[in-house]
Structure 1
């Protein structure tokens, strides 16, 4: 049974926000995707349509082709809210988006490159960096519950799993800024590899990874994979796991599906500012985010506002532990504090703490 939505409520959520030009453009874009109804559009990357049926119930169709981080914060929780009310009919997204929308009655992937895009204005919080957040129509899907146990089935029993993310691509049209250097990776893995089974994830769209939705940020050359294969064979490379599974019993497994499976069976994450830090925040445990530069840190002068208010709410039951660091010393310090000292390995943690000089504590949300 579809939820009957009062028209006044619909007006607040969508229709009153639309200017005629927006509605006209939205209708053209959404109809091209096969969607119908009163539609809201953002550039050519987002479409949110409300369709009133013959029995006066309301159905929602939604499409989004923006950056993954924006999608998982601004769009997916809103769409999942509509699903929780029984009115979501369908969703559309770029390649590799389906694993994030298992809740959707019908999800369709389109071969479109991701690019910068805000959330829908009908979202009570349409922009990440606004002064006040409204979570009334904001319910992130429980990805942890959907995928738990599947990562362990792939890797088998062993040490506790840790996920370490990285990226090396252009940012804001300039050289890479938010990335973990190879020397820092060496220090991090040397400290943690004997206690944890580490999976290292750094996508390179040039590798044509199945199910990875590339965006407009171009990847740069980075020889981390070659170095780790040669000098740190205990560290598992995500691309190697994916290829092994596709060559074996899971030929249809894609990038994001495997990524979510592994995350669901880990409680320890290191990530960098970007979509990967949002993904890690959807799961239980501690997520240390290395953030050097970005609007998340300085938007509207509200330092760490997004990390404080939003990221912790992405996790299961709206609870998560987020630590943000802005230097490699503090990254190593936070990893020692959270992943070694709390596990009783005080000697290894002390070595890293001394090396970091303890200039200030990481920021915890």
Structure 2
């Protein structure tokens, strides 16, 4: 880490296209196998509903859960949480990144490029350990990471590694109750 320099993603991809009247808050979820077993750390529909209901008046929430066609396969099976139809019906004010990518107003070259462009305009993230937390940690601001277990806990990655990506303030919740407490306190 002594030779690490943060990658200036925020500077490079900041734009005037993805701006809103309220500050952006990105909820980055996943629902897939973990360590060759069932999903462990993810935002259930119940937890999504609680977070969104609490935050939607203050933030333009963007929900990101990449589909298998959008990302590189890492040998995890991506399951259907059935939250997208629920989200459109229950919280139509929340933008879904997949729909935004279908419009692709910025003419991004691919889904990863598109994520960089949207994330660059955001200072507030709620993510899941692994790729969603890593990506969000590259864009400064605050990143609340939900992780029930994993090697990141043992290696203290949330204290020692993730803040180095961009200087982001990293918060780690291990339980749904601590996640909701952090949401209330931080946002």
Aligned mates of 1:273, 1:284 — CA distance in 2: 17
Q: Which has more radius of gyration?
A: 1
Over 3 Å counting, the alpha-carbon distance change for 1:141 and 1:156 in structure 2 is: closer
1:260 offset after TM fit, Å?
A: 1.0
Aligned to 2:184: 336
SS in 2 for 1:242: helix
- Is 1:203–2:66 an aligned residue pair? yes
Runs of 4 or more consecutive aligned structure 1 residues displaced over 3 Å after TM superposition: none
Aligned mates of 1:157, 1:268 — CA distance in 2: 14
Aligned mates of 1:323, 1:265 — CA distance in 2: 20
- Give the one of 296, 304, 307 matched to 2:158: 307
The answer for unaligned runs of 5 or more in structure 1 is 1-134, 300-304, 340-365
- Give the one of 231, 241, 262 matched to 2:90: 231
Tell which has more relative contact order, 1 or 2 (C-alpha 8 A, sep 6+): 2
SS in 2 for 1:277: helix
User: What is the TM-score of this pair, normalised by structure 2?
Assistant: 0.94
The answer for unaligned runs of 5 or more in structure 2 is none
1:133-166 CA deviation, whole Å, 9 max, x = no partner? xx23322311111112x2x41x343111111010
SS in 1 for 2:53: helix
Aligned to 2:45: 182
User: What is the TM-score of this pair, normalised by structure 1?
Assistant: 0.49
Aligned mates of 1:249, 1:176 — CA distance in 2: 33
- Give the one of 161, 174, 190 matched to 2:24: 161
Contact 1:163 1:198 in 2 (8 A): yes
Aligned to 1:63: none
- Give the one of 254, 271, 275 matched to 2:110: 254
Aligned mates of 2:97, 2:20 — CA distance in 1: 17
Contact 2:11 2:120 in 1 (8 A): yes
Aligned to 1:79: none
Give the RMSD, CA atoms, in angstroms: 1.5
Q: Where in structure 2 are the equivalents of 1:85-96 lying within 5 Å?
A: none
- Give the one of 252, 264, 267 matched to 2:123: 267
For this pair of structures, how many residues does the alignment match?
Answer: 187
Aligned mates of 1:281, 1:192 — CA distance in 2: 20
